[in-house]
Amino acid sequence: MRYAYFPGCSLSSSASDYDLSLKAVCRALDIELVEVRDWVCCGASSAHATSHLLSVAMPVLSLSHAEEDGFDRLIAPCLACQLRLKAANKEMQEDPEVRERIHRAFDYQYRATVRVYHPLEVMMEEGMMEVIRSRVRKKLSGLKVACYYGCVLTRPPKIAQFDICEDPQSMDSIIRALGGEPLDWSYKTECCGVSMTLTRSDIVLKLSNDILREAKEVGAHAIAVCCPLCQANLDARQIQIEDRYRVQYGIPIIYFTQLMGLAFGAFSKELGLEKLITSPRGALEICGLM
Amino acid sequence: MEVKLTEDRGRLAERLQGITGENVMLCYQCKKCTLGCPSAYAMKMKPHELMRALQLGLEDPVLWSGTMWICLSCETCNTRCPQDINILKLIDGLRTYYLNRDYYNPVRELPMMHRLFLKLVRRFGRIYELGLVFILNLKMVDPLKDTDMAMPMFLRGKLKFFPHRSEGAKELRKVMSRLEAMEEER
C-alpha cells in the first residue's frame, strides 16, 4: 500500500528516532511512504489560536500537494499534525463558506479527497494485525508496557473517529501482538501539556509527573508513545520532573514503532534507540532484547 | 459578585457566536468541563466559570483571568460536554479576537509565543525549534531556561542548529497574505 507521508516539523528534528523507526516498520510491513512535496508546518496550536482560516489553510497547503500528486491516503505520525489535517479536511468538506474563502486564497482548488491516517490507524486496518504477528521474530516477553495515547488521537471523537475515546486499545493490541504485556491504567489519554512547554513549564512538569507516577505505580517497565510531542515532554523533561518532585522514575519513553521494529528484529541503530534520553537498556534487558 | 443585567450584556456572547458558531447560552453549569480539565488547577477562572462569565457578558474578568491562554487545547471539555458545546472553539474565538489587544493579560507570553511561532513558520515554512526557544527565552528574560533539557537532546542530534527550509514557504507566504487581505476586507 502506498501512502503520502507528512512527517511534520518534529520528525525532521527532535523526533528523528520516530521517523527512522516508522520508516523501518513500514518497510517491514510493505507500506510505501512518499514524502509530501514541499510540505509546510501544520500550524499546530498557534494557527488556530490566531485565525480560524489560517488554521485550515496551513494543512490544506500540504494536503493539496498530496492530492495534486495523486494520493488519496496520507500518514501523519504527530498527533498535533494529524488532528489539524483531519480538522482542515472536515471544514473543507462541510463548511461551504470556509471552502470558498480557502479556494480564493489558493491557486490549486483542494477537493478534500486525501484521507489522513495516524500510523496506529494504519496498523488497525483489516488484516494488518495478522501481518504484524507474522513479522515478529523476537517477542517482547515479560515487558510490561503502559501505552500512552496522548490527548488528541481519539479526541474530539467527531473528527478522530478512531478507537474508544476514553480508553483506547489499538496500541495495547499491538503490544500484545508483539508478545509484550500492555497494562491497564487510567492516564492513557490525559494531556501532557505540551502546548505550553516553552512558556509555562510548571504546568507541563506537573501533568507529565502525574503520567509518569501513574505508570510507575502500575508497574510499567516502559511507556509506549505515538506522538513526538508527548515523547519529548516525558523523556527530555524526566530529569527536571525527578528533580522538582524529588522522585526517581527512570522510565524509558519508547515509540511504539521502535518496539515493533525491535520485535521485527531490526537493529537498535536503525530505530534510533540511542537517541532516547532515558535509557531503554534496563527495560529491554527484561525481554532479552539488549 | 453582583452583576446588573442590561441589554448589552448579551453582546459578548453574540459576538462569539458570530465568530465561532457556538452558543454559550446552552451551558447549564454541570462542571464536567472543569472536572476533566488538566490545567483547571492553574486557572483563576475555571472553564465552567468562564462559560457563565461569557453568558453574563463579563468581558474584563474573562480577559483578566487569562483562562483562554492557560487552556492546553486538549479537547477533553468538548468531548465530554453534555450540551455538545465546542468550548475549545469558543476559547479559540476569544484568543483570535483578543490576540493583539492591549488588555491586561496575566500570561502575556502565550500570545507572544503564537505570534513568534507563525513569524518563523512564515519565513521558513517549517518550525525552527532552536530559534523559537532561544528568542522566546530572551523575550521572557530567562535565557538559560531549559538548557538542562536541551543539552542531552542536542548531543543526540535531536535539536538542529540551523532551520529547515521548505520549498513550500513561498506558497505559504502568498496564501497568508491573501488571507490577511481577505480578513481586512471584512
Nearest CA in chain B to A98: B179
The pLDDT of residue B101 is 74
* Mean pLDDT to the nearest integer, A235-260: 96
pLDDT band at A251 (very low <50, low <70, confident <90, very high): very high
Start-to-end CA span in chain B (Å): 37
Q: Which of B40, B73, B98 is the last residue of a domain?
A: B98
The pLDDT of residue B98 is 87
Q: Do B99 and A13 touch (CB under 8 A)?
A: no
* Residue B125 φ/ψ, nearest 5 degrees: 85, -20
The helix or strand, by DSSP H or E, that contains position A74, with its residue range, turns out to be: strand A73-75
Q: Which of B45, B75, B98 is the last residue of a domain?
A: B98
Report pLDDT digits (tens) over A137-150.
999 999 999 999 99
Residues 6+ apart with CB under 8 A from B42: A200, A202, A203, B70
Q: Between residues B7 and A239, which one has the greater pLDDT?
A: A239
Total structural domains in chain B?
2
SS3 A222: strand
* Mean pLDDT to the nearest integer, A230-240: 95
Nearest CA in chain A to B116: A46
Average pLDDT per run of 10 along chain B, which is 186 residues long?
81 93 97 97 97 95 94 96 96 90 81 94 94 90 88 88 91 96 85
Same domain, yes or no: B41 and B77: yes
The helix or strand, by DSSP H or E, that contains position A34, with its residue range, turns out to be: strand A32-35
Same domain, yes or no: B93 and B126: no
Same domain, yes or no: B11 and B92: yes
The pLDDT of residue B104 is 78
What type of residue is A79?
A: L
Q: Do B158 and A196 touch (CB under 8 A)?
A: no
Residue A144 to chain B, least CA–CA distance (Å): 26
* Mean pLDDT to the nearest integer, A247-265: 97
Short-list B91, B78, B73, B31, CA closest to A203 = B73
Q: Any idea of the CA torsion for A94, A95, A100, A105, to the nearest 10 degrees?
A: -90
User: Are A198 and A186 spatial neighbours (Cβ–Cβ below 8 Å)?
Assistant: no
Q: Do B96 and A196 touch (CB under 8 A)?
A: no
The pLDDT of residue B186 is 72
Residue B32 domain-assigned (yes or no): yes
The pLDDT of residue A253 is 98
The pLDDT of residue A105 is 96
Residue B156 domain-assigned (yes or no): yes
Grid cell of A280 as nine digits: 531503554
Neighbours of B72 (CB within 10 A): 23
* Mean pLDDT to the nearest integer, A2-31: 96
d(CA A131, CA A53): 41
SS3 A35: strand
* Mean pLDDT to the nearest integer, A23-38: 97
Is the confidence at residue A288, as pLDDT, over 90? no
**What range does the domain containing B33 cover?**
7-98
Residue B104 domain-assigned (yes or no): no
d(CA A118, CA A226): 9
CATH code of A2-119, in short, is 1.20.1050.140
* DSSP code, position A126: T
Fold annotation for A137-286: Rossmann fold (3.40.50)
Neighbours of A10 (CB within 10 A): 25
* Residue A225 φ/ψ, nearest 5 degrees: -125, 165
| Chain B partners within 8 Å of A193 (Cβ) | 38-39, 72
Residue B177 to chain A, least CA–CA distance (Å): 9
The pLDDT of residue B102 is 64
Same domain, yes or no: B117 and B172: yes
d(CA B182, CA A105): 9
d(CA A221, CA A219): 7
Calculate the average pLDDT of chain A.
96
Partner B contacted by A54 (CB < 8 A): yes
* DSSP code, position A236: I
